[in-house]
Amino acid sequence: MIKQQLHSKCFVWILTAMILLVGMQPVLAQTPPPSAPPADPAQTQPPCVPAPCPPQTAPASEPRLEIYGYVQTDFGYDIDQINPDWFDVMRPSKLPSFHDEFGRNGRTFAGVRQTRNGIKGYIPTKYGELKTLFEWELFGVGVDVGQTTFRLRHAYGELGHFGAGQTWSPFMDPDIFPNSLEYWGPNGMVFFRNVQMRWMPLQGDTSVTVALERPGSTQDAGVLANRIEISNAFGRFQFPDVTGDIKTSHNWGYLRAAGIYGNTRIDELRIDAVNLDQIAHRWGVDLTSNIKTGKKSVMKLGYVLGEGVENYMNDAPVDIGPAPNFGNPIRPITAKPLPFHSLVAFWDIYWSDRWSTSLGYSQLAVANTPLQVPSEFKRGQYALTNLLWYPDENVMLGGEFQWGRRANFSDGFRVNDYKVQFSFKFSYSAKIPK
């Protein structure tokens, strides 16, 4: 065990040094400027919904800014019910875990929380062009869940083959996000903006990215929540998560494979006959693709398999659960990274320059442990279809029908939710200097 820990420490810190030293080498060698910082998934298919397309500008010899964003108003009706903190999205994990948990069915919702603004900066340096991205919106989460308030999306900088800041994890493929009105998106896709430092040795039609990311996981005590035996057991993240991806583009679309590895240490501070110290290994694989089906239309596909990386998923429960360890009186309980698999299949169809439709399905299923509570989340499903109209390149309006379904672990409870949403979006963009 000691040797394994020493090897793990050496590997992570050697990898850190390699990323910093090798990543900066092409910068100091004045390599050609790379591609722009990662784009919002909604900015990849024109017309850009739910986000506007930032202006695309050829490299310049003087500093410049690009400002972009939109004001979006959403009105809708929830035919059934969802956790009130998530009133304007469709998240299967936030559907009731028992009958009428959130009151009676049927609620109208409205808001402007999807309103967004971003600033891109381009500054010439003797090492190439420095590119930065600062983007925020009004969709409150965490301590601000359910509120209309400032939320940071991206704070990222890139020079040469090296980048650092908060942006899309390399484990995530933002380009499989559908052209939808619903904000949260398919529950079965990886969706995580994380603080990271990354090295991009290859860029272009074939690209490779490796990153060290801020680690994290959530632990579920399950039916043992009030037991003294686990009251002094704490999770600890000694090393960063390691992520990476490789993508190859073709005239028909692209293929992409991404992976992640991390570990969570469980430390028990109580000194007695039971020792719960252990290391929970977390990992995942994300396979995605875009397949062109017309001038603008595209199929968006994804499949994810992993253990203990649910926090990287768009809508999933905890990462680690308690499991019995029969025959071991010293460690009768283990912290088990929860296995899961998920899929995404959407089709963005552009009938013309003025009309589009997105339709598709997604699901995520978790393999629960015997010591989780019967009402714990096990499986979520998500689907939608819409019709969007673009009377002007800066104006979008449309309607959408959404469906979500939750199934509990072992108590037999299942529930559906249906929503209808109408949205109005007004986009803007400007370049300084023009």
SS3 sequence, the chain?
Answer: CHHHHHHHHHHHHHHHHHHHHHHHHHHHCCCCCCCCCCCCHHHCCCCCCCCCCCCCCCCCCCCEEEEEEEEEEEEEEECCCCCHHHCCCCCHHHCCCCCCCCCCCCEEEEECCCCEEEEEEEEEECCEEEEEEEEEEEECCHHHCCCEEEEEEEEEEEECCEEEEEEECCCCCHHHCCCCCCCCCCCCCECCEEEEEEEEEECCCEEEEEEEECCCCCECCHHHCCCHHHCCEEEECCCCEEEEEEEEEECCEEEEEEEEEEEEEEEECCCCCCCCCEEEEEEEEEEEEEEECCCCCEEEEEEEEEECCHHHECCCCCCEEEEECCCCCCCCEEEEECEEEEEEEEEEEECCCCEEEEEEEEEEEECCCCCCCCCCEEEEEEEEEEEEEEEECCEEEEEEEEEEEEEECCCCCEEEEEEEEEEEEEEEEEEECC
Question: So what's the pLDDT on residue 275?
Answer: 86
Token reading at 257: 């494979």
Question: So what's the pLDDT on residue 1?
Answer: 43
Written as one letter, the residue type at 268 is: E
Question: So what's the pLDDT on residue 46?
Answer: 43
Task: Give pLDDT tens digits for 280-292.
Answer: 999 999 999 999 9
Q: Quickly state the pLDDT bin for 270 (edges 50, 70, 90).
A: confident
Q: What percent of the chain is modeled with pLDDT above 70?
A: 86
How far, rounded to the nearest angstrom, does the alpha carbon of residue 317 sit from its chain's CA centroid?
14
Task: Give pLDDT tens digits for 333-360.
Answer: 999 999 999 999 999 999 999 999 999 9
Question: So what's the pLDDT on residue 229?
Answer: 75
Question: So what's the pLDDT on residue 3?
Answer: 42
Q: Work out the mean pLDDT of the chain and round it to a whole number.
A: 89
SS (H, E, C) 72-97: EEEEEEECCCCCHHHCCCCCHHHCCC
Q: 164: which strand partners? A: 157, 197
- Is the pLDDT confidence value at 294 over 80? yes
354 near 391, Cβ under 8 Å?
yes
409 near 373, Cβ under 8 Å?
yes
122 near 345, Cβ under 8 Å?
no
- Is the pLDDT confidence value at 245 over 80? yes
Question: So what's the pLDDT on residue 30?
Answer: 40
Query: Average pLDDT of 115-131?
Result: 96
Q: What percent of the chain is modeled with pLDDT above 90?
A: 80
Token reading at 152: 């940071």
Question: So what's the pLDDT on residue 56?
Answer: 53
- Is the pLDDT confidence value at 60 over 90? no
Domains of the chain: 2-432 (2.40.160.10)
- Is the pLDDT confidence value at 297 over 90? yes
Query: Average pLDDT of 305-334?
Result: 94
Question: So what's the pLDDT on residue 274?
Answer: 84
Q: Quickly state the pLDDT bin for 195 (edges 50, 70, 90).
A: very high
Task: Give pLDDT tens digits for 16-28.
Answer: 444 444 444 443 3
- Is the pLDDT confidence value at 69 over 60? yes
Task: Give pLDDT tens digits for 401-420.
Answer: 999 999 999 999 999 999 99
- Is the pLDDT confidence value at 210 over 70? yes
- Is the pLDDT confidence value at 45 over 60? no
pTM for this predicted structure:
0.85
- Is the pLDDT confidence value at 193 over 60? yes
Q: Quickly state the pLDDT bin for 434 (edges 50, 70, 90).
A: confident
Q: Quickly state the pLDDT bin for 228 (edges 50, 70, 90).
A: confident
Written as one letter, the residue type at 376 is: E
Question: So what's the pLDDT on residue 227?
Answer: 85
Q: Quickly state the pLDDT bin for 188 (edges 50, 70, 90).
A: very high
Q: Quickly state the pLDDT bin for 213 (edges 50, 70, 90).
A: very high
Task: Give pLDDT tens digits for 132-142.
Answer: 999 999 999 99
Query: Average pLDDT of 181-202?
Result: 98
Question: So what's the pLDDT on residue 273?
Answer: 80
- Is the pLDDT confidence value at 326 over 70? yes
Closest CA to 114 of 163, 185, 64, 204: 185
Q: 348: which strand partners? A: 298, 358
- Is the pLDDT confidence value at 71 over 80? yes
